[in-house]
Amino acid sequence: MILTEKQRRYFGTDGIRGRVGDGSITPEFVLKLGWAIGQVLAKGNNSRVLIGKDTRISGYMFESALQAGLSAAGVDIYLLGPMPTPAIAYLTRTFHAQAGIVISASHNPYQDNGIKFFSGKGTKLPDSVELEIEAMMDMPLTTVDSSLLGKAHRVEDAGGRYIEFCKSTVTSKLDLSDFKLVLDCANGATYHVAPNVFRELGAEVIEMGVEPNGLNINQNCGSTEPRLLQAAVLKHQADLGIALDGDGDRLIMVDQRGELVDGDELLFIIARAQQRTGQGNAEIVGTQMSNLGLEQALKQFDMTLHRSKVGDRYVIEKLKETGGIVGGESSGHIICLDKTTTGDGIIAALQVVAEMKGTGSSLHELHSVITKYPQTLINVKVDAITDLAANDKITSAVEEVEKKLGSDGRVLLRPSGTEPVIRVMVEGRDATQTTRFANDLADIIKENI
């Protein structure tokens, strides 16, 4: 299967992202972007927009630029400081704001940054609104009369509000006093909230990645670099490990044996928990990257996996389309629509821990139900994204591999939404075969683009 992406000038899969100082990630651009957001999302007087950020050093600069642009548009600004992305979605709703803005590059290193947006309902923006913002960027920046300029306010209790919200997503009877867990906050936005959530529920928490300095976000830690967490779980003989990413919307876990538990396995555990307690339904949403093993495991329990495009906002769209409640990505974006409006690493972790307590099972026992298929993923750098489906040599090569794999495998070619990269994924029963096929397809792409 070959996927194509609608080309937009600025927006990628999840907002606008890039290297600080390049392209769209400059103070000048972000100032104009703040103004454009004010024009599109916060029309009229008495409008308010929330701004939160992760811990990377450039967040200070872009926070100020957004403030200036929003103020020029006559919009009041509420500053949350370092807060997880899902916290900003939640607080945007509770403040009855017109929009929420997140300054973050998620799991990327500190050299990158980005801008993400939530509507007043705490949901990701649809494509049509993103295109409207892009069109507004072409208009001349105007400033409202001085009497109408937006004012800035700092929200001092944002962390406490979000901690209580996270705890409210599990039963008040949940007691984790017999749990020892290692928690890796990636030196990111969850460093001051996630440990308190689990401690207030009674758990013994061993902290990692809670000393951000503006430059160490996601550096050898967090959901994309869980090796040190695996070692720490074994060293401390913990019941589990929890790894969040820099902005707190991704989750990877580690069982008591030091084995990784990825987004597909976490999605299965939460789906089964909801089925067991009668809170969910049979419609589960993954993405084109979700492992075939997840699909087959769900089928054993009379649940259906629906696949969306990659990106948590597309998972949410598919959930609403199918009437599902739980969805997620292999990377660890897990969405529980009965709890919140977007992917939330802390809330997803709480649901898994609650299922461990509810069943008396270890994390290893819960995730071992899935037998995952070998999956090879190769990123092929290209000068520019082109229409792969229009290239006969590439399409015929894909068809040939799909024919050889049959019903026990899949091929997916997907342009990245954030960088000039083609992602080549081959999945099948035989690891050696999938690796060979993926490398062959990668070579063909390099030769023909």
What are the residue numbers of the active site?
A: 106
**What gap in Å lies between CA 317 and CA 69, rounded to an integer?**
30
Q: Which of 164, 154, 124 is nearest to 41 (CA)?
A: 124
Amino acid at 298: L
Q: How many CA atoms lie within 13 A of 296 on its CB side?
A: 12
Chain length of the chain: 449
- Cβ-based burial of 181 (10 A; exposed 0-12, middle 13-18, buried ≥19): buried
CB atoms under 10 Å from CB of 390, counted, come to 10
- Cβ-based burial of 337 (10 A; exposed 0-12, middle 13-18, buried ≥19): middle
**What gap in Å lies between CA 336 and CA 273, rounded to an integer?**
12
**What gap in Å lies between CA 57 and CA 66, rounded to an integer?**
15
Give the full edge-to-edge strand order of the sheet including 421-427: 375-381, 421-427, 410-415
**What gap in Å lies between CA 267 and CA 98, rounded to an integer?**
31
**What gap in Å lies between CA 66 and CA 47, rounded to an integer?**
15
